[in-house]
Structure formats: structure tokens, C-alpha cells
Structure 1
Amino acid sequence: MDEDAQDKGLNPDGTIAREGALDRVPPPFAPVVDAARERVTAAYGDALHGLYLYGSIPRGTARPGRSDLDLMLVFHEPPTDADRAAARRIEAELDAAFAQIDGAGILLEGRAPLLADPNDGGFFVACLCTPLLGADLADELPAYRPTSLLARETNGDLHLFPERWRAAADRGADLRAVVRRAARKTVRSAFCLVMPRWGGWTSDLARSAEIVGRYHPEWAADLRRTAAAAADPVPDPDLLRMITDDLAPRVAEEYRRVHGAKAPR
């Protein structure tokens, strides 16, 4: 089938469709999601405005033993240091309790900043997150289209990250985790660079690399390698160096030329 005839992640009116749903969660991950909901509810109670699931698990593409659990907590008020410490404990407990997941990550956000930043945090909630608990902020946010503005305000900050990834590796951080973060951010940013030209949305990193390769064939091989590392990260310093010193800076330079840099937050 012609790629352009395939699903581009859009609603019939051309807006970006929400990509996940609870009925897409693969059966092996259902107990993990239930446990996450229970632990978060017990830890935060009424302070929580909403709990969201995102990533491969609600998209239905998660692989037991390979995929991580991604959660976002939205609070009525700005999260505190105690809230963040509780989240780190829940991450560790879930990772230890369930062999299905390769790590757990919890984002903490306040409700007001997400609503005030509709082209970054708001888009993330409305299109990339699946509600698990509480009110859905998507009801208070606009519909989104694959525009240059959306590209700029979601991933127009790639130029800030290579130095952070290098510093994390130099500090002795888990190299596999650093490779995973760097690979995901770089491939997602490359996709958002061409998103308005392609005219759709996908979070599938392998597909993203293939789409970008049509517009930038000079990046195709490195993007395929990077997308593979995002799915199955390896503690490879040479791979990380390729991303931080070559691929990510090239993508970031073109990104700023085409869409401009993300507004400071």
C-alpha cells in the first residue's frame, strides 16, 4: 500500500486524533496499569487533578520485558518536592513488582501551566495521553493540526539537549537510559521537522524514521539506527556520540531554520 494512503493519525476533519485508549492496552500490561492507578490514588488523593497513561502501552504496541511504563500526574496546585519523592518511590516499586516493564517514568505537572501552554503541554495531554483517573484536561484544550507552530513549540528545543546527554553520560548515569532518552527525542524531533509537509501524526519511531528519510535521505541510515536504539536501547557510547555530536545537531540546525526555536518556558 502507498504510504500516503495509510493512516496519518487524523480525525475526519484533519485534526490530530488522540492516539491511545485503555482498550488498546495489551493484556500483559493491564495489571501494571491497575497497580499504577491504585498506588497513585493512595499516594496523592484529592491533590491530584488527573492521572494519564502515555507511550506504547496505551497505543497497544508495548512488548513485555522491553517497554517502559509512562505516566503523567496533573495536580490542582504545583507539585511539591514531596510529591516528586513519592513519584520516584512509585516508579521503583512498579519496576520491581512487574517484569513486564523495563522501567517506569512519572511526569508531574500542575493543571494551570498545561492549560497556559496549549502548543506543548496541552498538545501532549490532548493527543498523546490517555486518561486513567480524574477530569480530562483535553476537554479544555483546542483541537490540533500538524502545523509549523505545533512543530516549533513541541520539539523546537532539540539544540538544548545534546550537551545534557553528554553531561549525564560523563556523570556516570545509566548509559542505556541516556541512549534511550537521546534516541527518542532525536527521532521525534526529526519527525516533527517534516510533520507539516507529511500532513499527519505518528508516535511510532520506526515509522517516523522512515518518513523523515523520504525528505532527508542523508539522515536515513542514522535515523533507522537511532530508532532501533529507542526501542531496544544498548549502553553503546559510540552510538550516543553519533547522536549527540552528529545527528541531533544536524536535525536541530535544520529545525531552527525551518520552524524556529521553541519559545523559552
Structure 2
Amino acid sequence: MAETIPPRGLDAQGFLAREGSLARVPHAFRPVVAAARDGILELFGARLHSAYLYGSIPRGTARVGRSDLDLLAVLGDEPTEVDRAGARALLASLDQGFPQIDGGGVLLSSRTRVLSDLERYDLGFFVACLCTPLLGEDLAEYLPRYRPDSLLARETNGELALLLPRWRARIAETAGTEEALRPLVRYMSRHLVRTAFTLVMPRWNGWTSDLHEMAEAFAASYPERADQVRTAAVRGYEPTGDAAVLTSYVDDLGPWLAEEYARVHGIKAPRPEDGSRRAAAG
């Protein structure tokens, strides 16, 4: 029997349901996932606590040659710069070896951090609801159930004001070629659409990872900004290396969204390292 997806990403009790599964991985991407699993095991060995897939591949919506490979590796101790360099090298090798994917990323964390009180409604939510177990023990067993409320909205995306200066610096440091700018357009477009969505998530009362559905949920409450967010959703899937787009994000849409988010949900609890899962992902 085929799996059924709860309406608006909720289960029968109104909690957010985990959105992906290995059963949904498209056939074309299964060799990529197998190679990624082997590569993570080889890279981290006994230090690996668990590993997860997230994004379009475990959701079953990945497109050959266009979708990225997104992985999270959770270690028994804190990851080091050597670990991060190894993760980047693994991703580069997979990207070169499998034309099915177009880039991606390997996030690293520790078991302690995932289960910490500070990360319960950010990294913890990410693992429990947006990640699909690939290796090891599933940390979702130790995490609470989540509802689409203002607390979750604040802690998942309430840091945009902190990110904007970093985005401006990245834009300034990036070579102005279309090839170099395209990944930035994709990343920032997706981040802004997801932030726009979680701004209205409590009243929409659900979860989706479809950028177009996110944009429409936002548009119902903010029609004056609807076209900007709808266009960003398109660029999240079909990015172009346009510097003017990035400028509009950091000078117009981004600052407005950060201010409105703070007004509605407040500011995300500060992290000791002044970072977050998405900051690291970008």
C-alpha cells in the first residue's frame, strides 16, 4: 500500500509528521544515497553516531541533474575543522561522480548539541521532522513532538537579521560570474521563502517544504510582498546567477522580512557561537 502524506504535514493528533523516508528516494538517486552512506561510514568510523538525508531526495521530489544531495552527520563528539574539510571533500567526490545531483552539503553536529535544550526547536526539530534516518540510532526518539506554533517559528527562522550582514559579505567576496552567483541565488532564495513561510506557519497550521506552496501560504497574509516571494520560490528551484537579485534580497526583501519576523515572533535565542544550522548550511 502506498504511503499517505497527512494534510499540511500534520498527523492525526495535530503534530508535525516526519516528511521523508528512504522508501520515497527515487530510483535514479539510490546509487547516490548508497555511496553517501558508505562514504560517511568510511570518513567518521566509530565516531559516527547517526546520519540522515534531508531535502528533495528523501521527499521523493528530486529532479535528475538539478537537485542537490543534503546530508547530516551526527558525531559522538564535537566536529572539528578537519571533519568539516573531510565532509566537503566527500560531497565534492559524490557531486563529481554522480551526474544525478547538482551540488549539496554535509552538515555536521554532535549528539549532545542535537539533544540540547537550546537546539530543541531548531536542530532538534530539523532532525525529528525534516531528516530521514540513514545510519545509526534515530535521535527523534529522544525529542518532543512539534506543533506549528510561534515558538517553533521563532527558533527555526528567527535569525535572519543576524544572517544578512554575512550574506552581504559573501556576495562581496564571490566572483561576479553567473556560475559563481547561481548557488548563492539558490540558497538565499530558499532561505527567504522558508522564512516567509514560517512567519505565517502558525495561522496556516501545518508544514510543507514545497517552495511554491510556502509562497502561496505567505501570499494569503502579505499580498503586498507576494510577488517577491513567489519569484524567490521560482529562483529556489531554477536559480540564475544575477547579482541584482542578491542585492534585492539583502537590501529590500530580507530586511523587511527580518523586521516583520521579529515583530510577530520575536528573536531567536542567541547561540554561543553566534551560528545556527542554516548559517552553517549556507
TM range (shorter): over 0.9
| Structure 2 residue aligned with 1:30 | 30
Residues in 2 aligned to 1:255 and 1:171: alpha-carbon distance in whole angstroms = 28
- Contact 1:20-1:58 at 8 Å conserved across structures: yes
CA distance in 2, matches of 1:51, 1:9: 23
SS in 1 for 2:51: strand
Secondary structure of 1:8's aligned partner: helix
Q: CA deviation at 1:163?
A: 2.0
Query: SS of 1:102's equivalent?
Result: strand
Deviations 1:169-224 (A, max 9, x none): 11125211111111111110010000001100111111100110000001111011
Q: What does residue 66 of structure 1 align with?
A: 66
Q: How does 1:198-217 map to 2 (within 5 A)?
A: 198-217=204-223
The answer for the alignment partner of 2:277 in structure 1 is: none
The whole-number CA distance in structure 1 between the counterparts of 2:216 and 2:40 is: 37
Name which of 108, 125, 138 aligns with 1:123: 125
Mapping of residues 135-154 of structure 1, within 5 Å: 135-154=137-156
Structure 2 match to 1:162: 164
2:133 alignment partner AA: P
Q: Which amino acid is 1:210 matched to?
A: E
Name the counterpart of 2:278.
none
Backbone CA RMSD of aligned residues: 1.0
Gaps of 5+ in 1: 1-5
Q: Runs (4+) of structure 1 moved beyond 4 Å?
A: none
**210-219 vs 77-86, which moves further:** 77-86
How many angstroms does 1:75 deviate by?
0.4
Structure 1 residue 76 corresponds to structure 2 residue 76 = yes
Give the Å deviation of 1:115: 0.5
Q: Distance in 2 between matches of 1:212 and 1:241?
A: 22
Secondary structure of the equivalent of 2:168?
A: helix
Q: Could you say what secondary structure the match of 2:148 adopts?
A: coil
Q: Mind listing any 5+ residue stretches in structure 2 that lack a counterpart?
A: 1-5, 272-282
For 2:81 and 2:189, the matched residues in 1 are separated by: 29
Show the counterpart of 2:13.
Answer: 13
Rounded to whole Å, the distance in 1 between the matches of 2:165 and 2:182 is 17
Paired position in structure 1 for 2:92: 92
Q: TM-score, normalised by structure 2?
A: 0.90
CA distance in 1, matches of 2:212, 2:161: 22
The match for 1:3 is none
Shift of 1:35: 0.4
Supply the distance in 2 between the matched residues of 1:56 and 1:86 (Cα, whole angstroms).
Answer: 24
What code does the residue aligned with 1:107 have? L
Preserved contact between residue 64 and residue 101 of structure 1 (Cα < 8 Å)? yes
Q: Which amino acid aligns with 1:111?
A: R
Alpha-carbon contact 1:70-1:105 (below 8 Å) kept: yes
CA separation in 2, counterparts of 1:91 and 1:232?
21
C-alpha deviation, 1:43, in angstroms: 1.1
SS in 2 for 1:103: strand
Alpha-carbon offset, residue 154 of structure 1? 0.4
Q: Is the 8 A contact 1:226 1:243 kept in 2?
A: no
Q: How far off is 1:240 after superposition?
A: 1.0
> Deviation at 1:162?
2.2
Q: Given residue 198 of structure 1, which amino acid in structure 2 is its aligned partner?
A: W
CA distance, structure 1, for counterparts of residue 82 and residue 260 of structure 2: 40
Pairs aligned (count): 260
The 2-side partners of 1:78 and 1:35 are apart by 24
Does structure 1 residue 258 correspond to structure 2 residue 260? no
TM-score, structure 1 normalization: 0.96
State the Cα distance separating 1:112 from its structure 2 match: 0.5
1:225 aligned partner:
231
